[in-house]
A and B are shown apart, each in its own frame.
Chain A
């Protein structure tokens, strides 16, 4: 068994997760992590499914494992922020979202969670700034999506 095989399993799992077939996705992610427990993406992907299926505590444990293996893993910080937000741990979520947006300034989702948390913490002006940044990025994403659609048709 190789690291490459773990990545293959993770890829299959992701295909299922995209179709919201989370049970099947989890099975593949578990296989990937059995082969290579030091595979940060495997932990991250499994944690993402746990967030989607309403298990934020378990998700945070998996995100932490991913981040222990790679502390500059921007996507893991971003999704961890979401899990913390779902637990209404707004201060912790804000820290995670800030880390995510520092590592990847183009993560619209991280900026948005940052805005939402700041709003919850009563820091309205800072929230507006974060929302503004998130909106800019979202519009760029949206324009790209439209362009792709036009090209397809």
Chain B
């Protein structure tokens, strides 16, 4: 790693360790419009010319926020790299058939919801929503279980950036809670609730992992004063119960149980070897499978190499079109498909 950016000692050490263990390089890139959580472009997911992984973060992250994003993505990279080197790195992908099964299920659920509604959703909007919702769940299931795992790992391995992590977790949680809210009346209730429940389970797991006292120095910021004297868990619970998605709590508690069952036994401070990160990968896969099962989406997704998912993304307009044809037959004109 070569950078002109200042980096705190533990982060510099962590980057070097990661590079050494995976026999790869990490490059850091600051970008004004980067995703708030940063982005990892890694050699295990994408076809890269050089053996260099890139971590991108927002330009306004000049200090510890940048360090946290780097720690998070290095952990992610270690999990992917360990799986690649010691087993096979796989992600949740989809095929033409699995898209059909998923979209058909969403359609049937949507019909049940629509039957009870006074203001019916225009047919074109309902049709457009099917594939959007399907891919939304694909994105979330590929991200959310790993997010809980990675955050817990960073928390135990990097005590010096815990305050930063807490701010990040809260910010991420807020953004995730706001997601989909504008589409609440459009999305079938079941999927709205399941989506929120996944985030709820992740937040509650992290609230248990990250104790409140870590927040104190951050409390000098006026906007955050209202959280004073509250437990992190209480903070997050309070926010959840005051939202429109209170129903999500019921499902969320069940999902939390699944997350707990998988992650409670992890030895977070075990020596940071490739075997340890492989263990985390296996746990992540198991956790993902259980969450998919719980949401009865087992036949929506398949475990495949990342290349398969990239190809599926490239084919998605076609997959959507074919699925719509199978669901609606000749009822739809040729112009349909491709949201």
Contact = CB atoms under 8 A, between A and B. Distances in A.
A11 B220 CA distance: 36
Contacts of A142: 36, 58, 60-61, 65, 171
Interface in A106-135: 108-109, 111-113, 115-116, 119-120, 128, 131-132, 134-135
B217 A135 contact: yes
A138 B63 contact: yes
A132 B6 contact: no
A51 interface: yes
A142 B8 CA distance: 20
A61 interface: no
Nearest to A86: B4
The 6 residue pairs across chains A and B that have the minimum distance between CB atoms: A112-B63, A134-B63, A132-B217, A109-B62, A141-B60, A145-B60
A138 B217 contact: no
29 contacts: A52-B4, A85-B6, A86-B4, A108-B62, A109-B62, A109-B63, A111-B63, A112-B6, A112-B62, A112-B64, A113-B6, A115-B8, A115-B63, A116-B8, A116-B9, A119-B8, A120-B9, A131-B160, A134-B64, A135-B64, A136-B221, A138-B64, A139-B65, A142-B36, A142-B60, A142-B61, A142-B65, A145-B58, A146-B36
A95 B9 CA distance: 19
B167 interface: yes
Contacts of A86: 4, 6
Contacts of B36: 142, 146
Interface SS majority for chain A = helix
A111 B64 CA distance: 11
B223 interface: yes
Contacts of B8: 115-116, 119, 131
Contacts of B9: 116, 119-120
B326 to A, nearest CB: 36
B174 to A, nearest CB: 10
A16 B89 CA distance: 41
Nearest to B29: A20
A31 B205 CA distance: 58
Interface residues of A, number: 29
A61 B162 CA distance: 38
Contacts of A120: 9
A115 B58 CA distance: 21
B61 A135 contact: no
Contact of B163 (A52, A132, A140): A132
B64 A136 contact: no
Contacts of B60: 138, 141-142, 145
A109 B58 CA distance: 14
Contacts of A52: 4
Given A115-B8, A141-B60, A135 B218 contact: yes
Interface residues of B, number: 25
Nearest to B224: A139
A113 B58 CA distance: 18
Nearest to B216: A132
B7 interface: yes
B164 interface: yes
Given A82-B4, A138-B63, 7 more contacts: A54-B4, A131-B8, A138-B61, A138-B65, A139-B218, A139-B221, A142-B61
A15 interface: no
A144 to B, nearest CB: 8
Nearest to A117: B6
A132 B215 CA distance: 11
Nearest to A111: B63
A136 B63 contact: no
B123 to A, nearest CB: 29
Interface string A24-49: 00000000000000000000000000
Residue from A82, A134, A138, A143 having most chain B Cβ neighbours under 10 A: A138
Contacts of B61: 138, 142
A116 B217 contact: no
A119 B11 CA distance: 12
Contacts of B63: 108-109, 111-112, 115, 131, 134-135, 138
B39 to A, nearest CB: 16
Interface string A81-116: 010011000000000000000000000110111011
A139 B6 contact: no
